[in-house]
Structure 1
């Protein structure tokens, strides 16, 4: 960069150190005095000493002098100011020249700017004239562009409307023509028409509703024709449908889901399908029964069910097994046909109810109108098996009516019970097959009850069969009835009813209770009535005991039978046991001769019991009447001859008393029962002997006391013999001998 201030050679000392310039003395100034000189020098020194050489201006000045290479001489110091001023003047002159050149350039620029302004004004004028000429043209072009945009928008709307709401002739032919197949293209067109019909609501929401009404009417007509075509096509397919085929056509399933949107047509298809399947299944059932379907050859590898008609249990079981297999196969096939895709049919039915409100028949609420696929499926299976059920009912009733074995009839009842539960789980508790099996079960059980009643009537008419056996055991007709009952209980125990009863818990009444009443109670009552043929009460009691013990031992192993009959049997046996105990007790008393003594002591026993009652009631105890006890010795049974005889009879009885007593009840067919009754009878006998012994000892003591009374009192004749000496047995000895 050009410097307008060239460097000045500063004065330097002899050693190169710059020296301050010495100011030139002015010739006009008066010679200073010493004082002035001293003051000026002091000021100068002060200013020099006070100056800061760190100041940037001083530093720059010193650097400039250093660069000029000026020696610090007197001449140099004198010329330094002049040189500096000359340089400043030269610099200013150079600056003035440079600014002159700038001024010339600015003049040229001003001229150019003026020319440009003139040109712009001219262009502005031309533009204004052109604008005035083109404004009408631009306005007209803008109007045309607006019209073009509106036309394009209308064209787009028209194309969109035509594409969405207008059905082409080809699509209309696919939708309605019976010659075109029902394929994916048909369902696509149908879905499009349904969407058009649904979107017509948007058109009806505008000001002009005519277009929406026309399109909706046209789409409704197309939909009705399409559903009619679909309805006829499904009916045609149902005629040749093979449900045994695991790969049922997906087009049929799709068609059913779509047709569900028209509930009336859908139910009509189901009715047609049910009729077709009813005929097919009835034909198949007849084929399985007879192996002879009209127009079809027989399969000789499988025997017809009718071949086992002589065996009702197998015959009914084979028919029920076939029906169950057919119901399972039918349900599985219909599940794949109707509900394999979830709830699509239910959704279609729900949508169809809104379009066909008249299809809601006897519906109380919207919840009832919801289509239940599984329930409808079970109902359809029941309808498909209507003919089979009718044929099954006729054959079961016919074979049961011609059979007279009660055990077989009851096994059939258990079989029907099993299949009733099976059909209930498969098709629901309200299904037709459940009602059928329940009806057949009641019919079979009624026939079972009739057979049992006829057998009881036959036995009642045969007097010889009712005579009790000589050993007083259970009669043969009862044993035969119990054998039949055992077979019935085993059959029930192995059946489904017993397991369901066990799951529900033990209940007094169960499914076997009616059979037990029919197969057991009449024979037990008949055996009890036959006991009246025995005139001996002991034999009659033993016979009834044997009957009830036999019945109890028969039903005890089966809990479902014991639940209802064991308690009444036990109560009746307990009553008979008390009778046997009284019989055995009486036998011990009669055989030992103790009964006569007890009979003689009966008044004293009544008096003793009255005193015991008074003591229990808290009354004061009266002293024993010794005079009354003395009267015992005067009784005929306690005379020496009779008492010695009874003592001898007792001694003869005791060695074999227990064995004889057991043998007395040997016809009771339960050793444990006889043993318990005998033990209690022996215990009662010991108590009676203890009473007799006590009365004898009391009578002897009373007699001794009367002998010691003072003279002057009236006394009976002196007794010179002792009752105890004549009847020496003690209670302890009796208990030992009878233990």
Structure 2
């Protein structure tokens, strides 16, 4: 028991020791609770006396009671307030419960209305989507009011503006889009819209046609605007309307071209820059040249205007219409042009001027053919050129006949040949006229046909007249005269192209006359050399020739060889061409040489029994040939 008590005391001392140590180890400056407690204690424990220390515990307890009373009093007020709040909450809960009951009752009563409202809300949303779709559909497949006004015009005479074509393109676009709409299953709507767009398009094209036609009708010298060009490209899909517009344009421009042509003929260009073309009527070449030069300048301008008008059209499909329109425009000048040209052709008598006019007409006919094809103008120019050609050929033929006529005028023949057998002056005169005409003909296109006709018009009657006048002459004289005339003609024609055939024909006739002269000259030589009997013997194949004949022949032959020209016919010297004289002489000498060679062979043939042939024929054929050639 004592041991236990001692142990308890020891434990108590240890505990006290631990507390003391703990108190000693405590650092008051860091213990917030202790500091707060000491601060609270300092508020009422002012004096550290024994009595106060003894009463400290009771004061603390009393102060604690006061504090608890204050807390209780404050808590009581809180409780009273909380109770009021709870009362209010209970009241509110009852009200909420009542409202809930009322709401459930109202909900039960308005369930159908709410369902209907929700349904209507959904329907409204669906209709709004449909409205948006419908508005988008109408915007894509219908024209707006401004577009409709643009297409049909606000007034009857409203002009066409660039936006018109944009709206027309939109109509075509909608019409095309309807095909895609049909593929999506909206055939009925697509067909209705297509029909509506077709009506719009037809109405718009009808308005465009009237505007374009009126514009073309009043088109004078003003340029063709881009709106007209665009209008023509749209109207080309309506061939009838397109043709009507082209016809209207061609009629208007034809009248303008004719008026301008008449003004150029009678008044000249505005401002006095040029005189009237009719003032040059006294100069036929210039007069006709000025008229065609004006047409050559004006008609291509009309073609350029048509090219601009057809600029945006399909050229391949409309080229024929364009050419017809140009032909119609150009045909208007045919009548005034024809009257003036034919007046000049019928009044002019100079063959050279008529030929120059004919070539001028041919030149412009080829030029105009490259610009205007078909129509009356092309055929008119062809006929006019043919007429001018006939007129100048007839004038040339008349001039030839007047030169070839006898003074009495009874026969178309040259005057009788003179004693010198040279061509008469009329031959030279006609050939000079021919050269003058051919000098112009060689510088123009198509000259081959012209040269051939001109030469035939002059040479053929001239040859006939020469042959007629020579027919009364002796053979040799006639041959020399014809040869001289033919030579003169041939010399004139040789220098010109395309005359090969004609020159060959003249050469053939000259060769015939040369053959005639050669025969006559050879016959004369045979007679003068006493070769007739010997030649007869040679032809009869007799081998024996009398020596007397040979001696007579050789005596004359020797004299002939000394002076070959003595035995030539006098007419041979009258041949104008030295080449022809030489040819006749050479050929006739060759005849004598051939006969001499036969005689020489007979004499020197031992079988014929001629003694001392060297005494009879001392010269060999080769020697004779050399002498005659010399």
Same fold (TM over 0.5): yes
**Does the 8 Å contact 1:411/1:491 carry over to 2?**
yes
Match of 1:313 in 2: 285
2:327 aligned with 1:382, yes or no?
yes
Alignment partners' CA distance in 2, 1:244 and 1:512: 47
CA-to-partner distance for each residue in 1:279-324, whole Å, 9 max, x for gaps? Answer: 11111111121227xxxx9654422222222333222222211111
Match of 2:536 in 1: 602
Count of equivalent residues = 513
Shift of residue 473 of structure 1?
2.6
Structure 2, unmatched stretches of 5+, are: 1-107
Match of 2:317 in 1: 371
- Aligned pairs (5 A) from 1:704-723: none
Match of 2:468 in 1: 529
Shift of residue 210 of structure 1?
5.1
Match of 2:625 in 1: 735
CA-to-partner distance for each residue in 1:154-203, whole Å, 9 max, x for gaps? Answer: 22332133223323333333222334321111111222223333444455
- Say what the alpha-carbon RMSD is for the aligned residues: 3.5
Alignment partners' CA distance in 1, 2:462 and 2:571: 28
CA-to-partner distance for each residue in 1:519-542, whole Å, 9 max, x for gaps? Answer: 3323223222322132x1111112
**Does the 8 Å contact 2:265/2:277 carry over to 1?**
yes
Q: Tell me the SS of whatever aligns to 1:559.
A: coil
CA-to-partner distance for each residue in 1:107-165, whole Å, 9 max, x for gaps? Answer: xxxxxxxxxxxxxxxxxxxxxxxxxx9x9999999977875664344223321332233
- Aligned pairs (5 A) from 1:274-293: 274-291=250-267
Match of 2:517 among 551, 568, 580: 580
Alignment partners' CA distance in 1, 2:115 and 2:416: 135
2:600 aligned with 1:661, yes or no?
no
CA-to-partner distance for each residue in 1:370-399, whole Å, 9 max, x for gaps? Answer: 6143x4333322211111123222322222
The structure-2 alpha-carbon separation of the partners of 1:464 and 1:703, relative to structure 1 and needing over 3 Å to count, comes to closer
**Does the 8 Å contact 1:581/1:678 carry over to 2?**
yes
Alignment partners' CA distance in 1, 2:513 and 2:118: 126
TM-score (norm 2): 0.72
The structure-2 alpha-carbon separation of the partners of 1:326 and 1:136, relative to structure 1 and needing over 3 Å to count, comes to same
Alignment partners' CA distance in 1, 2:466 and 2:118: 123
The structure-2 alpha-carbon separation of the partners of 1:542 and 1:174, relative to structure 1 and needing over 3 Å to count, comes to same
Alignment partners' CA distance in 1, 2:185 and 2:613: 136
- Aligned pairs (5 A) from 1:291-302: 291=267, 299-302=271-274
Alignment partners' CA distance in 2, 1:159 and 1:215: 15
Alignment partners' CA distance in 1, 2:339 and 2:578: 54
Shift of residue 345 of structure 1?
1.1
2:152 aligned with 1:176, yes or no?
yes
Alignment partners' CA distance in 2, 1:141 and 1:522: 122
Structure 1, unmatched stretches of 5+, are: 1-132, 348-369, 502-509, 608-627, 705-721
Match of 2:13 in 1: none
Match of 1:418 in 2: 363
Shift of residue 730 of structure 1?
5.2
TM-score (norm 1): 0.62
Alignment partners' CA distance in 1, 2:290 and 2:524: 63
Alignment partners' CA distance in 1, 2:371 and 2:566: 66
Match of 1:551 in 2: 489
Shift of residue 254 of structure 1?
1.4
Match of 2:310 among 333, 338, 347: 338
Shift of residue 597 of structure 1?
2.4
**Does the 8 Å contact 1:230/1:255 carry over to 2?**
yes
Q: Tell me the SS of whatever aligns to 1:496.
A: coil
Alignment partners' CA distance in 1, 2:537 and 2:122: 142
Match of 1:440 in 2: 384
2:332 aligned with 1:393, yes or no?
no
Higher helix share: 2
Alignment partners' CA distance in 1, 2:267 and 2:513: 62
Match of 2:74 in 1: none
- Aligned pairs (5 A) from 1:463-612: 465-498=414-447, 510=449, 512-534=451-473, 536-562=474-500, 564-590=501-527, 593-594=528-529, 596-607=530-541
Match of 2:54 in 1: none
